[in-house]
A and B are shown apart, each in its own frame.
Chain A
Amino acid sequence: MSTAWIAISAMALIGVGLPIGMITLSSLLRPSVPEDGKRQTYESGEIPTGGTRFRFNVQYYMVALLFVIFDVETAFIFPWVVTYRDALEGGPSVVAVLAPMLAFLGILIVGLVWAWRNGAVSWARSETTDWRSTQNQ
Chain B
Amino acid sequence: MIEPVQLPDAAALGPALVLGLTALVVFVFDSARPHEPDRGLLAGTTAAGSLLALGVGVWYMIAGVGVPEPDGAGVISLFDGQLVVDQLALFFMLVTAIVTALVAIASYDYMDGHAHQGEYYSLVLLAATGMATMAAANSLVTVFLALELASLPSYALVAILKDNRGSVEAGLKYFLLGALSSAIFVYGISLVYGATGVLQLDLVAEAITGETGQHVLTGNAHDVAGHDGLLGVGIVLLLVGIAFKTASVPLHFWAPEAYEGAPAPIAAFLSSASKAAGFVIAIRVFTTAFPVEATAGLVGFDWSVAFAVLAVATMTIGNFAAAVQENVKRMLAYSSVGHAGYALIGLAGVGAGANELVLGAALMHLFVYAFMNTGAFLFVALAEYWGVGRTFADYNGLGRRAPIACVALTVFMFSLAGIPPLGGFLSKYLLFWGSLQAGMLFVAGALVVNSALSLYYYSRLVKAVWFEEPVTDHGSLAQPVGLYAALIAAAVMTVVVLPGFGPIADSALDAATAVLTS
Binding site for B on A (CB under 8 A): 107, 110-111, 113-114, 116-119
Q: How far is the CA of A117 from the CA of B27 in the complex (A)?
A: 10
State in angstroms the CA–CA spacing of A110 and B118 once bound together: 13
Residue of B nearest to A116 (CB): B31
Question: Which 3 pairs, one residue from A and one from B, show the smallest C-beta to C-beta distance?
Answer: A117-B31, A114-B27, A114-B31
Chain B contacts of A119 at CB under 8 A? 34
Q: Which residues in chain B, 23-63, are within 8 Å of chain A measured between CB atoms?
A: 24, 27-28, 30-32, 34
5 A-B interface contacts by CB (under 8 A): A110-B27, A114-B34, A114-B118, A116-B31, A117-B31
Q: Check A113–B34 contact: CB distance below 8 A.
A: no
Nearest Cβ on chain B to A99's Cβ, whole angstroms:
11
Residues of A near B31 (CB, < 8 A) are 110, 113-114, 116-118
A117 touches B34 (CB 8 A): yes
The residues of A that contact B24 with a CB separation of less than 8 Å are 107, 110
Residues of A within 8 A of B118 (CB): 114, 118
Give the dominant DSSP class at A's interface: helix
Secondary structure at the B interface, as helix, strand, loop or mixed, is helix
Q: Which residue of chain A is the closest to B29 with respect to CB atoms? A: A114
Beta-carbon contact of B34 and A118 below 8 Å: yes
Q: Which residue of A lies closest to B21 (CB)?
A: A107
Distance between B511 CB and nearest chain A CB, rounded to angstroms? 30
Q: A111-B27, A114-B34 are in contact. List 15 more A-B contacts (CB 8 A).
A: A107-B24, A110-B24, A110-B27, A110-B31, A113-B27, A113-B28, A114-B28, A114-B31, A116-B31, A117-B30, A117-B32, A118-B31, A118-B34, A118-B118, A119-B34
Q: Which of chain B's residues have a CB closer than 8 A to the CB of A118? A: 30-31, 34, 118
Contacts of B32 in A (CB 8 A): 117
The answer for the CA separation of A124 and B28 in the assembled complex, in Å, is: 23
| Nearest-neighbor residue (CB-CB) of A115 within chain B | B31
Chain A, residue nearest B30 (CB):
A114
What's the least CB distance linking B152 to chain A, in Å?
13
Quick one: closest A residue to B25, CB to CB? A110
A96: shortest Cβ distance to chain B, in Å?
A: 10
Residues of B within 8 A of A117 (CB): 30-32, 34
Question: Which residues of chain B come closer than 8 Å to A111, judged between CB atoms?
Answer: 27
Chain A hits for B27, CB < 8 A: 110-111, 113-114
- Give bound CA distance, A110 to B30, whole Å: 11
Contact B28 A110 (CB under 8 A): yes
Task: List residues of chain A with CB within 8 A of the CB of B30.
Answer: 114, 117-118
CA distance A111 to B118 in the complex (A): 12
Whole-angstrom CA separation of A118 from B30 in the bound complex: 9
Residue of A with least CB distance to B24: A110
CA distance A109 to B27 in the complex (A): 11
Q: In angstroms, how far is the closest chain A Cβ from the Cβ of B20? A: 9
Residues of B within 8 A of A113 (CB): 27-28, 31
Alpha-carbon distance between A111 and B123 when the two chains are bound, in angstroms:
12
Which B residue's beta carbon lies closest to that of A111?
B27
CA gap between A8 and B75 in the complex, in Å: 50
Q: How far is the CB of A121 from chain B (nearest CB, A)?
A: 13
Closest chain A CB from B196 CB (angstroms): 23
CA distance A116 to B30 in the complex (A): 11
How many angstroms from the CA of A27 to the CA of B243 in the assembled complex?
55
B86 smallest CB distance to A (angstroms):
25
**Shortest CB–CB separation between residue B114 and chain A, in angstroms?**
15
**Chain A residue nearest to B33 in the complex (CB):** A117
Closest approach, in angstroms, between the C-beta of B499 and any C-beta of chain A?
43
How far, in whole Å, are A136 and B403 apart by their CA atoms in the complex? 62
Q: Which residue of B lies closest to A113 (CB)?
A: B31
Query: How far apart are the CA atoms of A107 and B20 in the complex, in Å?
Result: 10
User: A126–B442 Cα gap in the complex (Å)?
Assistant: 61
The CA of A115 and the CA of B212, in the complex, are separated in Å by 54
Give, as a whole number of angstroms, the nearest-CB distance from B175 to chain A: 16
Most A Cβ at <10 Å: residue of B30, B34, B118: B34
Q: How far is the CB of B127 from chain A (nearest CB, A)?
A: 16
Nearest Cβ in chain B — how far from A102, in angstroms? 14
> From residue A28, how far is it (CB to closest CB) to chain B in Å?
45
**CA–CA, A110 and B28, complex, Å:** 7
Interface centre among A107, A110, A119 (most CB of B within 10 A): A110
B28 to chain A: which residues have CB within 8 Å?
A: 110, 113-114
Bound Cα distance from A137 to B28, whole angstroms: 44
- The residue among A111, A114, A116, A119 with the most chain B CB atoms within 10 A of its own CB is A114
A118–B35 Cα distance when bound, in Å, is 8
CB closest chain-B residue, reference A107: B24
Assembly CA distance A114 to B122 (angstroms): 11
Q: Give the shortest distance, in Å, between A4 (CB) and chain B (any CB).
A: 19
B280, chain A: closest CB distance, angstroms? 25
Instruction: Give Cα distance in the complex from A59 to B32, angstroms.
Output: 22
Inter-chain contacts of A107 with B (CB < 8 A): 24
* A73 to B118 CA separation, bound complex (whole angstroms): 24
CB distance from A101 to the nearest CB of B (A): 15
Which residues from B are CB-within-8-Å of A116? 31
The distance in angstroms between the C-alpha atoms of A107 and B17, with both chains bound, is: 13
Least distance between A124 CB and chain B CB atoms (Å): 13
Interface string of B1-36 (1 = CB under 8 A from A): 000000000000000000000001001101110100
B79 → A minimal CB distance (Å): 12
Bound CA–CA A107/B21 (angstroms)? 9
Residues of B within 8 A of A110 (CB): 24, 27-28, 31
In angstroms, how far is the closest chain B Cβ from the Cβ of A69?
13
With A and B bound together, what is the CA distance between A107 and B27 in angstroms? Answer: 10
Chain A min CB distance to B163 (Å): 13
Docked Cα-Cα span, A117 to B31, in Å, equals 6
* Residue in A107, A113, A117 with the greatest tally of chain B CB atoms within 10 Å: A117
